[in-house]
Amino acid sequence: MKKIVFVTFISFSSLLFAQNPAFKEYIGKDYSGFSEFESFSKFIDYGGMLLNHSFEKDTSEAFALYAYGDSLIVLFEKAYNPDHGKNARYILLDAIQLNDVNSKYFIQYGTCSFNGEDDVYIVGLVKVNKDKERFTKCKKAWRIDHLKHTFFEINPKMVSCLNEGYNVCE
């Protein structure tokens, strides 16, 4: 019985604090673009956003999206500006990589909600539907624990994301 409890505790603890093993050596490293790391040199930067989790203050936490072929990488990073406005730099806090992503799906972050509550720390792999105001068909979803700086999976059925292109003139 003690063995089962110990194994369960160890497994649960690793889920709470584990980083994605493929990115472990990059956690805490400084970069201007993630593709400057040789292992990710083919990945293209598709942008990101600073996360303002409070209207009273800015934050240096950010999401960024990189892609190569049918693989996507979502980075959770800390942004800083060492020369006061000329060059942004980042420090990797955590990352998730999705391989074999169907072209009907894409990553949405910063505009998602969980059970109806907006939460900028949610990332969803959502099905594209340009005719809907919200993307409600979420295949996978994660949330950042901004105190531990790690992604953890959440129930995708409880996630919806704003379609920022809905009802915009083309």
Specify the DSSP class assigned to residue 1. -
Q: Is the pLDDT of residue 55 over 70?
A: no
Pair of tokens at residue 31 = 């970069």
In this predicted structure, what is the pLDDT of residue 53?
Answer: 57
Mean pLDDT score across all residues of the chain: 83
In this predicted structure, what is the pLDDT of residue 58?
Answer: 60
Secondary structure (3-state) at 135: strand
In this predicted structure, what is the pLDDT of residue 146?
Answer: 72
More confident site: 2 or 168 = 168
More confident site: 42 or 148 = 42
In this predicted structure, what is the pLDDT of residue 31?
Answer: 95
In this predicted structure, what is the pLDDT of residue 158?
Answer: 96
Q: What is the dihedral of CA 63, 106, 134, 140, to 10 degrees?
A: -80
Q: Is the pLDDT of residue 114 over 90?
A: yes
More confident site: 78 or 55 = 78
Q: How far is Cα 148 from Cα 157, in angstroms, rounded to an integer?
A: 24
Q: In the chain, what percentage of residues exceed pLDDT 90?
A: 56
pLDDT band with cut points at 50, 70 and 90 for residue 4: very low
**Side chain identity, residue 47:** G
